[in-house]
């Protein structure tokens, strides 16, 4: 059975795959992503296809990266426990606290699995809100759509940072480091292409990010 199948993994943090937004258009863009990823050229895969709307492209890729991180974290959920990962950290220098600005307005310290649970819940709320991620062709995106996308990507990066700093040896033992590295490279190239994450936010994995960008 594939490691990335649902199997007996923790269903609480490993959620069903989200479908691409915007109906037919989203499906077309998803096919483009799959085709270009299949070519093995990640730098080409992240580029905005000629004639396509930037917000449509960001929307479909946001769903795609949400699914990727979901699957990656799902493989580790049984090893990332409140006891072993009592804080959401990326090495000794970086600790992340959770706030969504709505129900939790003041950042709170939570365990890594709780942080990821809060994060995935929060992202799913955004993805399911048709006023943010329209499901019909031609429906307008909100004026602050790109700011919302930037926040989603900034927080998804934190999951990667935690995985690399706290669980990389487990990833190696599962023989999934090549898959993790490819997913992260795709993520970095996309965020860099569209300037979605400030460089300072990438500091916990700065060496790895720099090596990816210099390839």
Per-residue pLDDT of the chain (215 residues; tens, 9 = 90+): 233 333 333 434 445 555 555 454 556 666 656 665 555 688 888 999 998 899 999 999 999 999 999 999 998 989 999 999 999 999 999 999 999 888 899 999 999 999 999 999 999 999 999 999 988 777 899 999 999 999 999 999 999 999 999 999 999 998 888 889 999 999 999 999 999 999 999 999 999 999 999 86
- 101 assigned to some structural domain: no
Give pLDDT, residue 147: 97
**Domain that residue 210 falls in:** 23-85+120-214
Q: What is the pLDDT of residue 8?
A: 34
- Classify residue 27: in a domain, yes or no: yes
How many domains does one find in the chain? Answer: 1
- Count Cβ neighbours within 10 Å for each residue of 113-141 and write b for 16 or more, e otherwise: bbbbbbbbebbeeebeeeebbbeeeeeeb
Residue 133 domain-assigned?
yes
Provide the strand spans (E) within the chain: 88-89, 95-96
CATH number assigned to the domain comprising residue 44: 1.20.140.30
In a domain? residue 202: yes
With respect to residue 2, please indicate whether it lies within any of the assigned structural domains. Answer: no
Q: Is residue 155 part of a domain?
A: yes
């Amino acid at each position: 059975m594939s490691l990335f199948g649902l199997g007996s993994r923790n269903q609480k943090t490993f959620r069903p795959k989200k479908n691409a937004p915007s109906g037919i258009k989203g499906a077309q863009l998803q096919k483009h992503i799959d085709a270009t990823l299949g070519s093995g050229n990640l730098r080409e895969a992240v580029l905005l296809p000629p004639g396509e709307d930037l917000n449509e492209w960001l929307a479909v890729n946001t769903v795609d990266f949400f699914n990727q991180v979901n699957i990656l974290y799902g493989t580790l959920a049984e090893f990332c426990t409140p006891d072993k990962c009592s804080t959401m950290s990326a090495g000794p220098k970086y600790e992340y606290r959770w706030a969504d600005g709505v129900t939790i307005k003041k950042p709170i310290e939570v365990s890594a699995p709780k942080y990821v649970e809060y994060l995935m819940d929060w992202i799913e709320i955004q993805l399911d809100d048709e006023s943010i991620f329209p499901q019909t062709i031609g429906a307008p995106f909100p004026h602050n759509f790109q700011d919302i996308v930037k926040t989603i990507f900034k927080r998804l990066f934190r999951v990667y940072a935690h995985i690399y700093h706290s669980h990389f040896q487990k990833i190696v033992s599962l023989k999934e480091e090549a898959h993790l590295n490819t997913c992260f490279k795709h993520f970095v190239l996309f965020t860099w292409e569209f300037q979605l994450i400030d460089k300072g936010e990438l500091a916990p994995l700065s060496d790895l990010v720099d090596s990816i960008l210099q390839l």
